[in-house]
Every structure is written in C-alpha cells, then in structure tokens.
Amino acid sequence: MSEKKFEITKSDLNKVFWRSMPVELSYNSERMHNLFYIYSLTPIFKKIYKDDPEGMKQALLRHVEFYNTTPQIEPWVVGITAALEVQNAESGNQMGDTVTAIKTGLMGPISVIGDTLFFTSGFRVIAASVGAAMCIAGNPFGILVYFLIFNVPNYVCHWYGIHYGFKLGSSFIDKVVASGLLQKVTDIALTVGLTVLGALTSSYVFLSTNLSITYDQAEVSLQAILDGICPNLLPLSLTLFCAWLMRKKNVKAPMLMVTVIVVGVILGAFGII
C-alpha cells in the first residue's frame, strides 16, 4: 500500500468546485470536455505533482483525451478522478491506466443519471414548464422560478460531486448501485418528468377539427365525438406522432417544427382544423 503523502484540503476542493462550473465554455467538437477536466483539476495537479514534472506531464496527457457526459453531474467524476490522481501520485505514478479506465468507465453510467435528472425528463422540463406557465399567466417571476428550479440542483450536484466524489473515490458507483439509489432516483425523475409532459400536452398543445358528419339530416361535430371518446385526443395524438418521428425516424426538431407549422397553415386554410 502506498504511503499517504498529500493532504488535500477543503480549500483545494473548493477551488476545483468553482473551476467546475463553466464546463460548457470549454466545449469543443473534437474532444468535448477535455479542457474542462484539466482546468478543474489544475489546483490538485499543482499540489501533488509540484516536484514531479514527469508525473504532471502524464496527468495532463491523460486528461487531454476525449471526455463527455452530462455537465451538471460531471463533477462527481471530477471528484473521483481527483482522488485517484492523489493515489497515483502517492504510488509513484503506477496507476495512470487505472485512472483512465475508471474515468472512462464512469462516463456512461453518470450520463444516464445526469440526462435523466437534468434533461430528458428532469429539472429542465419541470423548470421550463413551471416558469413558462407563470409567464403566460402574466407573472414575471416565472423567469426567476425557471432559473431556481434548474440551477439550485445544478449547484448542489457540483458541490457534493466534488467533495463527496473525492471522499468516496472509486467506490462511489459500487455504493450507489448496491444501495439501489440509482434506480430510485431514475424512476422518480422519469415519473415526474412524464407527468409534467402529460400536463403540458393537455394545457399547451391546441388542435381541434372543424369537420362534421351528417347523419339522417343531422350534422354532428367530429370534434364532439372525439371529445366524448377522450378529451384532447387530437393534441395527444399529434404529440405522440411527433415523438415517434423524432425517436424512430430520426426527424430533427427544427424540421419537425417547420413541417407542423406548414401543415397547420394548409389545413387551416381549407377549414379542416
């Protein structure tokens, strides 16, 4: 077992925390977040590789490689990586491959957690829906609510990611998976996100038809029939159809938006909707 040589203080981790915030500013098309990694870990590198230029060189080369995961939860990997780098320095640079392997291995699982919590069905959807609803109702504080709902969890994840990620080290994922916390968080975020999306579909997607059916000299509205079957059936069908096109047919969102507008104008001109 390697001798403990370096003491990483709370102040050191705080520096990493503040450096971890502007991750998107470092984005590049070739290696995504690699510059962010080097920038965030520099305070740790300067301390543990201060008298080891070759160790510093190897560390920089390790982290200049491609890396990409959800920015809001990526600091957990940064904290874990920092702990591994300290162990590597204490072992005489014998753990370089291990650091790279663990960091790369965490990229997928962390992305699943992060995307679920912040993008596909989590805080971004909730924040946008609540904030937009307040603004539509004439409440300007909807903008503030939007930023708070999204950014408070963002800052919390950054803070605890750096500090507890460093404390737990490589055992983080094992402990989370063993406790069942990962599945619980994923299920809760998915349920809340889908509930919000369902409410948004009902409240903000408007589609009705002007068509009618003549039966025994009586004119019956097709929209009344559809409402009797299921209220807001047309908005729901349109939303599900658009989701199907994006997921299964790889139709891009901008193209889909333009298509919906054009088709809507044409059908409206003919009095169908």
pLDDT (tens digit per residue) in 243-264: 899 888 888 888 988 999 999 9
Average pLDDT of the residues in 3-12? 79
Among residues 13, 4, 23, which one has the least CA distance to residue 72? 23
**Are 169 and 195 part of one and the same domain?**
yes
CA pair distance 118, 161, nearest whole angstrom: 15
Residue at a domain's end among 154, 178, 200: 200
Question: How would you label 196-221 residue by residue, b for 16+ Cβ within 10 Å and e otherwise?
Answer: bbeebbeeeeebeeeeeeeeeeeeee
pLDDT digit string, tens, across residues 198-209: 766 777 788 888
More confident residue, 182 or 80: 80
Among residues 167, 203, 185, which one has the least CA distance to residue 76? 167
Among residues 50, 33, 40, which one has the least CA distance to residue 13? 40
As a whole-number percent, the residues of the chain with pLDDT over 90 amount to 12
**Are 22 and 123 part of one and the same domain?**
yes
Q: Does some domain include residue 118?
A: yes
**Are 57 and 187 part of one and the same domain?**
yes
More confident residue, 14 or 106: 14
Q: Does some domain include residue 169?
A: yes
Contacts of 210 (CB under 8 A, 6+ apart): 223, 271, 272, 273
**Are 196 and 209 part of one and the same domain?**
no
Per-residue pLDDT for 150 more than 70?
yes
Evaluate whether 84 touches 170 at the Cβ level (below 8 Å).
Answer: yes
More confident residue, 117 or 192: 117
Q: Does some domain include residue 5?
A: no
Band (226; pLDDT cuts 50, 70, 90): confident
**Are 163 and 250 part of one and the same domain?**
no
Q: Does some domain include residue 4?
A: no
**Are 164 and 253 part of one and the same domain?**
no
As given in the structure block, the two tokens for residue 1 are 């077992």
**Are 168 and 262 part of one and the same domain?**
no
pLDDT digit string, tens, across residues 230-245: 888 888 888 889 889 9
Evaluate whether 175 touches 164 at the Cβ level (below 8 Å).
Answer: no
Residue at a domain's end among 144, 169, 200: 200
Per-residue pLDDT for 53 more than 70?
yes
pTM over 0.75: no
Q: Domain tally for the chain?
A: 2
CA pair distance 73, 76, nearest whole angstrom: 6
**Are 153 and 261 part of one and the same domain?**
no
Domain range spanning residue 31? Answer: 10-200
**Are 60 and 190 part of one and the same domain?**
yes
Predicted local distance difference test score (pLDDT) of residue 1: 44
As a whole-number percent, the residues of the chain with pLDDT over 70 amount to 86
**Are 234 and 179 part of one and the same domain?**
no
CA pair distance 104, 98, nearest whole angstrom: 10
**Are 26 and 160 part of one and the same domain?**
yes
Quick count: other Cβ atoms within 10 Å of Cβ 26?
Answer: 17
**Are 147 and 211 part of one and the same domain?**
no
- Report the sign of the C-alpha dihedral through residues 242, 252, 198, 273, in that order: negative
